[in-house]
Structure 1
């Protein structure tokens, strides 16, 4: 029986795995129990795809799992055969292999006394009253922990507005493009994709077939931009001020250097800017600038952008700006009524399937995740004011209904966007995972010395 303190991490996607590896790599650190309800540890949703057209949207040079070892992923690739780069980008499946290699190596080095994999679903997390925590699993076991990390990953998109209740029971509605990926790939006939961002691109590449028409509709009809080579140069001065002031600075830099460089210069300062902005300034940014920021910040690999452009030119993919008015299943079709942006008259489509590609859910009041709903009902967590996810403090500790945080309770990954804004890509999450692991290790060391 281990005498080490125990940390339970709920969720074994990228953010949970990285936090576990940092904690377990400390020789005097805790025992880590990694709980995952899916059958695979380490890959998560993003890196489980085997589709060769699904590429990383970040160059390999910036995809190390560890912020202090920037060449770690490229060195791993150098020792591996059977992969190819597409202009500096590799498939997400290859990156999933990398993450599982990290996990496999950690298990071999550390053994079961330090890192344990629990294939089960966490259904409840409660304070134990003695400064510790209890994590109850679906199969009936209960894990005692000195600290708990919530790493639930990306939540399924919210149901579309205007949908007939019968839509959700229809096999022709895909609430999540990844939950029935094989069934989606086998779908025949024309398809409507709700949303036009990165998830839509993945779904369109999965569905592409000769003779098939794919429609993609979002409020603004904006597509992600493509990566491009950037020239090496000193970064611009750190921006400051209100969202409007920052926008002016970005535009000035874009005029001087190009928009790719201007956005890249801003990225290291996003978290500090977000932290300084008032709630009203954050809301103004989300209302006016967020769609444009997203398509310039989250870019496509050039080869993927070329595929999407070719599909659009061939009219295999039609992207439109507008709002869905209704989605009604009728026989083996789904009848769609939508209104183009800026127009009054509605238009109609008849498709064989509808796929919800609107992206990760932020409004926790709409989540169907049983654990999050349980934590909300207990008051251990609450949604942030802008409905981006959990409300967390500067230490990534969830804020409860009473406005307080709990010692030994942390969260990592996209759920914490409300506190930091940019926290969906590897370069951002790896920093947070290392930071949270360090906080937990230091707190456990202090407790042991007390």
Structure 2
């Protein structure tokens, strides 16, 4: 059975060996040195060594807002269930005059760099929740971090606030994979984030069929195609990409990793660079000062082409906003009936426009009926869908109008943004009593 394997190289390899790997010079050379503008006061760092009574192994200062933002980026990759205590920690490490933050759950690794003033090189892992809560509660001022190597305690000073946090030696932290700068594929950030939002929603959320928890991703020439299905719905999204991919690439990326990527990818970044390092069964997403590495699902994605209807009998064009609102109201009353809602479509005539009526009934709470004016081309039809799925897809369509294409009550319905041929969403119908 296919599954999301643990990241290659993220085992009991001492972290200190990472210092011998090539630095990310190419990735960061053209990037700003921090996540937000940095200002360092002229005063020197406070001398905290007298407080820690031990050998200082790391001495760094940075701005609270930078540190908080960096921790927010990496914190979602922290493991909350692992038997290894170090996986609940964030790795803090000096790197070429900056502070590097890393976290992993052994399925994804997220790394972020922030601007810093480094007086002593070093590294330490600290509890993500404790350190994150502390930094979030600090004033917006300079934060001084001083590590006592003997006790593995980091002394935090900001304004008049001082705190000591016990950490775990960085050598116990899994080795963080390094990006491969060769054969990268450039995708515009805004395009990739929209693709993820429109496709990942259709991926399965349980692991009974691990392959379906992933997003099939295909690169060929100047095209990129993403597809996901949970067996009840199918999302397909294509996009043009700059450059040219000579050899077709087919991979399955865990939907959870893509959702996290969309969360941390800043709109300020023009592009995300995607690479698949040879022999590692991983995908690397490179952004300004942020890198996400995910293990791939090493399986064959099911052939979804038979699901796509080859013909339609009725095409209904509606206002996206009105259709979405009607579905949200119907969803309130459809909860007790497996989210089933009926859609009754009637063509118009010379005197009146066509219509689509979205209705849901609950024996306990009542019912909802919402008629919407529509441009109907074809036959009358009454068909039932999972209205939650309808709401999901309508929430990620930004065109003013949307088209619903149907064949008969037993065949899938197709939803397409009007004027946008890059996105197709297919929903299986539901049975209902008459």
| Interval of TM-score (by shorter of Structure 1 and Structure 2) | under 0.3
Higher helix share: 1
Q: Which has the larger radius of gyration?
A: 2
Question: Under a length normalisation based on structure 2, what TM-score does the superposition of the two structures give?
Answer: 0.21
In terms of fraction of residues, the more strand-rich structure is: 2
TM-score w.r.t. the length of structure 1 is 0.20
Greater RCO (Cα-Cα under 8 Å, separation 6 or more)? 1
